[in-house]
Structure 1
Amino acid sequence: MAPHGPFQGRRDFLRASGALGLATMLPGAVRAASTHAGVVPPGDTDATSDVPLPARAPLASQPFLRLPAGAIRPAGWLRRQLEIQASGLGGHLDETWADVGPDSGWLGGTGESWERGPYFLDGLLPLAWQLDSAPLKAKAQKFIDWTLDNPWPNGMFGPRSNNDWWPRMVMLKVLTQYHELTGDARVIPLMTNYFVHQLGALPARPLRDWGRSRWQDELLSVLWLYDRTGDKRLLQLAALLHRQGFDWQGMFADFKFKQKVDVAKLKAEGGGGDVFMEDLGQRVHGVNIAMSIKSSPVWSLVSGRAHDRDAVHHQLSMLDTYHGLPNGMFSADEHLAGRNPSQGTELCTVVETMFSLEVALAITGDPALADRLETIAYNALPGTFTDDMWAHQYDQEPNQVESSLHRRPWTTNGPESNLFGLEPHFGCCTANFHQGWPKLTQSLWMATADGGMAATVYAPCTLQTVVHGVPLRIEQSTDYPFRSRVEIVLHPARAVAFALKLRIPGWATGSTLTVNGHAQASGSAGRFLTLQREWQPGDTIALTFASVPKTVPGFNDSVSVRDGALVFALPIAESWIKWRQRGLTADWMVYPASRWNMGLPESASFRRAEQPVGPVPFSRRHPPVTLSVEGRPVATWKAEEGAADPVPRRPQADAADVPVMLILMPYAAPKLRITAFPLLAPGSNEHPEDGHVG
């Protein structure tokens, strides 16, 4: 972390805030500057709604509108995945981890009072309502009630042991979801009072550190409230947040970080006196960058400029070009680390990238963002958890040959970083991972600007909304991404005409579409197909995508393997060793028990096999789909300190090693895996033996 002021990072802040306790209050100068003008008394507010609010002038319109929290419920394999989360750490974290336990500062206690309570709620809240779980709702409600019932006299809210803007940005996202779910009349007055206070306080106490880097997350809540109240002061606050926040668009327009970044080394070389160098750790921090992906699109709602809206594509291009990994993510362990697939990515970075893409997809309407979102959600997200979601990694590696206490090629993170456990290395991801699956569920469908609906991401679900005043239920049945067929059944209360948009993934080599059994034009890959008609109760759409397994070029001429939305990896036999018990869960090391250093020929040919999608969707024991391909051992490719060496460029296979048949699984199924394979030099492969690896 880059030093900036009295708190140099998460760890220093937590130590300091714990020592200060409840005695620390706002500085006198800030108290004097605060005002009660404009404070809103509690009263009736908007009730819950099944339809999103369009942008209020002068905000720019957007092609898609994210539906209110609770409009979409998971079904099929996705519901089973959310139930796994609820049965694991996602539903029991407060019972085994003090940071979100009964002494949390966000429950009025003297415990952790910074970001972890809000992070936990940001996923627990939608999970509870999507599963309609009374126990989980009760857990979330305790935090919500304390927050809403204990505002500060000047408009601030939250624990009084700190006045940091950053953790309140997360809790504001929680409160917007909670209001959409319940219509609780306490939410809008509290948010209004807080924003009035902040508008007056920011000139003297500007954004800094994490809040300065993550200003766009608060801007979402400011614009959410403006669409409901029309309070012009919120537009002033939006402009102030943008002015004080870091200029991510400018950084990526002149992107300088084209290699693995060693922050300590660069600071030493830069002398430490330059403002840029002081902020360097924040600029190249993976989670900050993940959150920043939505900054330009969200600001475009205020500016109205297409250039701001479209800047997200250049930002993603820079990340792909210089730090892209085969699982759809960019390296960040915990700073940008280049394209070597033995580098890691922090779990917080995964879930925050997903949320940024969900927001950016609605604002831009670009189906390519949905393609990327699916790649991350169906590979990188489940790839960093145990099957029961009782343990997770801080860092995951696409080429992950060991999870142990070795140091690895990381510049910032420590030796615990890729263990599976309660809080390996640092607990931010323990608190924050919860939002991944529930917020993906919230983004499977979106409303369109013309009053229709769009299928943006494919997974089994049920949608309840209103279109042109007519209640509408949509049931989507599918085993996507493990299968290519999606069935959509519409149940309007009565016949209603509207446009239905269906995303054709960019990877699709073809597609077929029927409505009530009658063939329709299927549209082009990488675009939304529009069906404009009067929809009758029971109308059924069947959509099937064609794809072929293929290799994708990567670092050092390596290749990864994709089929549809899934990335495939070579599973390494795993030996799990419990390191220590951690309350209801444990920390684990995982050692390889089979050979992993395999290469693929340039003319690799794949054979696909399918099995039923089981109770654990991303299961190594019962994978829903596998690919078989001929490969050869690469004896010169070794590991050091528990990490695979960089993929060798065009190695020659050892003539003494016979070819073998490799059985590849979806990336998330094995926890030790090879995802980026060396491409063998010409002439390296022969005919395979009867044996196989995987």
Structure 2
Amino acid sequence: MIRSQGRHVWIAALGLILGTPHSGFAEPPRAGRIEANALEPLPLGRIKPTGWLKRQLEIQAAGLGGCLDEFWPDIKSSAWIGGKAEGWERVPYWLDGLVPLAYLNDEPALKAKVKRFVDTILEHQQPDGWLGPIGDAAGHQPYDPWPLFPLFKAFLQYEQATADPRVIPALLRCARKLDKVLDQTPLSNWGKMRAADLSTALYALHDRVREPWLIDLARKAFAQSYDWRAHFDDFKFTGKTQGKFELDTHGVNTAMGLKYGPVRYRISGDPKDRDSVFSMLEILDKYHGQATGMFTCDEHLAGRSPSQGTELCTVVEAMYSLETAIAITGDARLGDRLEKITFNALPATFKKDMTAHQYDQQCNQVVCKREGEHVYVDNGPDSNLYGLEPNFGCCTANFHQGWPKFASNLWMKTPGGGLAVVAYAPCIVETEIQGKPVKVEVRTDYPFRDAIEIVVTVPEPMTFPLELRVPEWSPPLMIEGTNVTVQRVGPPRNEGAGYQAMNARWSGSTVVRFALPSEFRLYRGDHDSVAVERGPLVFALPIGAEWKKLKDNPIFADWEVYPTTPWNYALEIDPANLAKSLSLEQSPLNASGSLFSVDAAPISLQVKGRRLESWKIERGAAAPPPRSPARSDAPLEELRLIPYGCTDLRITEFPMLVRSSGR
């Protein structure tokens, strides 16, 4: 027996769920059968970000994310709202991120912007049911299905947040028209490659109305789709795809394709579909992987060099694919990958006030300039500039979904009538369990600190489980709390990520505490280079940066960034004894601004290294890292590494020095 704030709390069971997905939610028999999700996402607004995550969303709202409709023609004057500018993907992309941003921030001005666009689109639904323009002045074909995929996702989120009664009927009318369109003109181009996004939206619509024809439409979309599982079962693109500019090597398509198998599993019932995401990630890591958990694509798959780029659209679409796949599979390993991408690749590709973004980021990013030769497969010279729409405007419209959807998917419901942690970040969850209101507050500065505190508040004594994700790099949780001590029971945890389930009788407000400590790890990169990891964070050497304004935009500006400090170092590291080679330092946390900035980095590592004068810039980027072990007669220096997401210019993948006594 244990106590919480004067009330008894009985821990009925504390066990581990390892290596096997949740069994899923039972559904009533019906035509158009669909496999249940292993975890149930919560409706938009049930999870509210707090702490550093809330500040991150507020920064996004004050930056490009909340302002595009005020000055960017592709939103301000879009054909979606009666203008003459692009009437294809950019408004749907923007709404898909702006809707959750507005409602998670509970920001009246942003909500008003969302409502204006939603009202206009609904009020101008075509007589045949189609939503949006039928072609546009930019030359996009009439009845192109692709823009509807993000539009459906945006409208379904809006309906969750507002209960607007117009949304579901409008989507059903549009889906009926789309069904006829696909009979006449099967999916092609972007729609063919991205069919899983349409099916994801159709499943969600089906969950609302239980119309079997929606599942039949999803089957039709998959029958007309590009088969990403088959693509990776016979993967041919094992190097930089120079001269191969097809949709099957396109980075954003590939990121969206990560969820293809799990999404198809819901109608195929084939476990190989469900599990295909893991082999896809393994193959991408092997041939195109980066230390951030992402893969190269500038614009197409580009090999493992840390100087190749990764498109911002690819980052946010990979996050969404993982969030979708986590709900379907219930597999904790995907939560590890989601955190790694979110805490590293996502924040690194923005100016820290989010008034500018890059099209491509580089793990070894030593200069961002327009002039001269560039290393990309086929992207242009503006690609790693920080600006409004460097290279191409799709990322300008689409990046908005990254942070808000991450916040919206931090927790999900379990088949056992409880809640599971998908990813750790400060938030408040307000939902119903057993028909009663339950509040769960996560108080933490993770990933910058190890400690996590969860406060569970119930209106009367209740019993339900919390399933806490244990990352692959963490030991089993030792849970303590206010008058609560819970010892782990059951068999020892195997290697790999899993869930540690705490089934408790809750009463009043109960506080549970635990930590996610981690040892240092080495990521093995291109040319035997290494990157340093701890927990979900990747560490990089920040390079002094001189920001040069290229031009002013109606709001904000475009920038080049030039290095002002040396970057070409090899590290003195003993892989067998990382604790001896590296030391951890913590700084006070910035209480008001972003923690993802060079000056505010709340955690850093100290390591020794030597300059490698032969390692220089080639084709506008750092040359591939010299092979390890590298030799240098330069003096040994103390280097400070900070979280990758805090950097602007950086070296992430380093050569290792020949081991010696040093000097």
TM-score scaled to structure 2, two decimals? 0.91
Tell whether 2:256 aligns with 1:285: no
Partner residue in 2 for 1:304: 269
**1:428 match:** 394
Equivalent residue in structure 1 for 2:657, among 661, 669, 680: 680
Q: Deviations over 1:349-387 (max 9, x none)?
A: 000000000010111111110001000000000000011
Aligned AA for 2:441? E
Q: Does residue 188 of the first structure (1) align with residue 174 of the second (2)?
A: no
CA contact under 8 A between 2:630 and 2:656: conserved in structure 1? no
Q: CA deviation at 1:119?
A: 0.7
1:620 is paired with a residue whose SS is coil
Pair 1:319-2:284 in alignment: yes
Specify which of 74, 77, 88 is matched with residue 63 of structure 2.
88
Post-superposition shift, 1:509?
Answer: 4.2
Paired residues in the alignment total 618
| One-letter amino acid of the structure 1 residue matched with residue 188 of structure 2 | R
Deviates more, 1:588-597 or 1:632-641: 632-641
Amino acid at match of 1:542: R
Query: Pairwise mapping of residues 577-596 of structure 1 onto structure 2 (< 5 A)?
Result: 577-596=548-567
Pick the aligned partner of 1:236 from 206, 216, 221. 216
Residue 509 of structure 2 aligns to a residue whose secondary structure is coil
Deviation at 1:61, TM superposition (A): 2.0
The equivalent of 1:598 in structure 2 is: 569
Structure 2 Cα separation of the partners of residues 387 and 95 of structure 1 = 21
Q: Distance in 2 between matches of 1:549 and 1:510?
A: 17
Aligned residue identity for 1:226: H
- Which of 471, 474, 482 aligns to 1:516? It is 482
8 Å CA contact retained: 1:576, 1:588: yes
Q: Percent identity of the aligned residues?
A: 44
Residue aligning to 1:383: 348
Q: Provide the rounded CA distance (Å) in 2 between the counterparts of 1:598 and 1:545.
A: 31
Aligned-partner Cα distance in 2 for 1:56–1:568: 49
1:443-522 equivalences in 2 (<5 Å): 443-509=409-475, 511-522=477-488
CA RMSD of superposed structures (Å)? 1.5
**2:91 aligned with 1:111, yes or no?**
no
Change (3 A) 1:576 1:59: same
Secondary structure of 1:181 counterpart: helix
Q: Which residue of 2 aligns with 1:649?
A: 627
Q: Which of structures 1 and 2 has the larger relative contact order (alpha carbons within 8 angstroms, sep 6+)?
A: 2
Bigger mean CA offset, 280-289 vs 327-336:
280-289
Match of 1:13 in 2: none
Secondary structure in 2 matching 1:668: helix
> Counterpart amino acid of 2:187?
L
Per-residue Cα deviation, 1:58-89 (whole angstroms, up to 9, x for no partner): 21122211111111010001001111001111
Q: Distance in 2 between matches of 1:393 and 1:140?
A: 25
Partner of 1:271: none
* Inter-CA distance 192–53: structure 2 relative to 1 (3 Å threshold): farther
Offset of residue 181 of structure 1: 0.8
Whether contact under 8 Å (2:632, 2:657) holds in the other structure is: no
Cα deviation for residue 616 of structure 1 reads 1.5
Is 1:294 matched with 2:272?
no
How many Å apart are 1:108 and its aligned residue? 2.1
Once the two structures are TM-superposed, the CA of residue 307 in structure 1 deviates from its matched residue by 1.3
Tell me, in whole angstroms, the C-alpha distance in 1 between the residues paired with 2:559 and 2:28: 51
Matched residue SS, 1:506:
coil
For the Cα contact (< 8 Å) 2:143–2:181, is it kept in 1? no
**Residue matched to 1:33:** none
Judge which range, 350-359 or 147-156, deviates more: 147-156
Aligned pairs (5 A) from 1:403-442:
403-405=368-370, 406-442=372-408
SS of the residue aligned with 2:478?
A: strand
Question: What is the rounded CA distance, in whole Å, between the counterparts of 1:349 and 1:512 in structure 2?
Answer: 36
SS of 1:163 mapped into structure 2: coil
Shift of 1:618: 0.7
Q: Secondary structure at the match of 1:378?
A: helix
Is 1:78 equivalent to 2:56 in the alignment?
A: no
Contact 1:511 1:546 in 2 (8 A): no
1:79-108 CA distances to partner (integer Å, 9 max, x unpaired)? 01111001111111111211111x211212
Q: Deviations over 1:600-635 (max 9, x none)?
A: 124151111111221221121121001000111111
Pick from 324, 328, 339: which aligns with 2:293? 328
- Are positions 1:559 and 2:534 aligned together? no
Q: Which of 242, 247, 250 does residue 230 from structure 2 map onto?
A: 250
| 2:615 matched residue in structure 1 | 637
Instruction: Indicate conservation of the 8 Å contact 2:569/2:654, yes or no.
Output: yes
Rounded to whole Å, the distance in 2 between the matches of 1:633 and 1:233 is 64
Alpha-carbon contact 2:630-2:655 (below 8 Å) kept: no
What is the alpha-carbon distance in structure 2 between the residues aligned to residue 259 and residue 382 of structure 1? 27
Note if contact 2:572-2:607 (Cα within 8 Å) is conserved in structure 1. no
Distance (whole Å) between structure 2 residues aligned to residue 424 and residue 642 of structure 1: 16
Q: Give the alignment partner of residue 534 of structure 1, picking from 477, 492, 505.
A: 505
In the aligned structure 1, how far is the partner of 2:50 from the partner of 2:278? 32
1:546 deviation in Å?
A: 1.5
Tell me how far apart the structure 2 counterparts of residues 543 and 321 of structure 1 sit (CA, whole Å). 34
Distance 1:54 1:72 in 2: 24
Alpha-carbon distance in structure 2 between the residues aligned to 1:386 and 1:96: 19
1:441/1:213 Cα in 2 relative to 1: closer, same or farther (>3 Å)?
Answer: same
Partners of 2:502 and 2:108 in 1: CA distance: 39
The residue aligned with 1:37 is: none
What residue in structure 2 maps to residue 136 of structure 1? 110
Farther off after superposition, 521-530 or 589-598: 521-530
What is the distance in 2 between the residues matched to 1:158 and 1:373? 32
Residue range with higher mean Cα deviation, 238-247 or 604-613: 604-613
What's 1:270 paired with? Answer: none
* Residue of structure 2 equivalent to 1:151: 125
How far apart are 1:510 and its partner, in Å?
A: 5.4
User: Secondary structure at 1:203's aligned position in 2?
Assistant: helix
Deviation at residue 654 of structure 1 after TM alignment:
2.5
Shift of 1:571: 0.6
Q: Is the 8 A contact 2:356 2:558 kept in 1?
A: yes
1:204 Cα offset (Å): 1.4
Which AA in structure 2 matches 1:669? C
Q: Tell me which residue corresponds to 2:95.
A: 121
Mapping for residues 7-22 of structure 1, pairs under 5 Å = none
Question: Following TM superposition, by how much is the alpha carbon of 1:515 offset from its aligned partner in structure 2, in angstroms?
Answer: 4.0
Alignment of 1:217-228 (within 5 A): 217-228=197-208
Q: Deviations over 1:314-351 (max 9, x none)?
A: 11111011000011100001100000000010000000
Distance change (3 Å), C-alpha of 1:296 and 1:55:
farther
The superposition leaves residues 560-598 of structure 1 with CA deviations (integer Å, 9 ceiling, x where unpaired) of 011111100001111110011111111100011111000
Structure 1 stretches lacking a partner, 5+ long: 1-51, 267-279, 688-694
Q: Deviations over 1:225-277 (max 9, x none)?
A: 11221212112111100000100000001111101102xx34xxxxxxxxxxx
- SS, match of residue 600 in structure 1: strand
TM-score for both structures, normalised by structure 1: 0.87
Confirm or deny: 8 A CA contact 1:419 1:587 kept in the other structure: yes
Shift of 1:681: 2.6
Query: Which letter maps to 1:212?
Result: K
Q: 1:130 to 1:56 in 2, by over 3 A?
A: farther
How far apart, CA to CA, are the structure 1 residues paired with 2:28 and 2:354? 41
Q: How is 1:202-217 mapped onto 2 (pairs within 5 angstroms)? A: 202-217=182-197
Aligned AA for 1:654? Answer: S
**1:640 Cα offset (Å):** 1.7
| C-alpha contact 2:25 2:38 (8 A) present in aligned 1 | no
Provide the C-alpha distance between the structure 2 equivalents of 1:410 and 1:209, rounded to a whole number of angstroms: 23
Distance between the aligned counterparts of 1:332 and 1:321, measured in 2? 14
CA distances 1:170-189 after superposition (whole Å, capped 9, x unpaired): 10000110111111111111
Q: 1:168 to 1:55 in 2, by over 3 A?
A: farther
* Secondary structure, counterpart of 2:516 in structure 1: strand
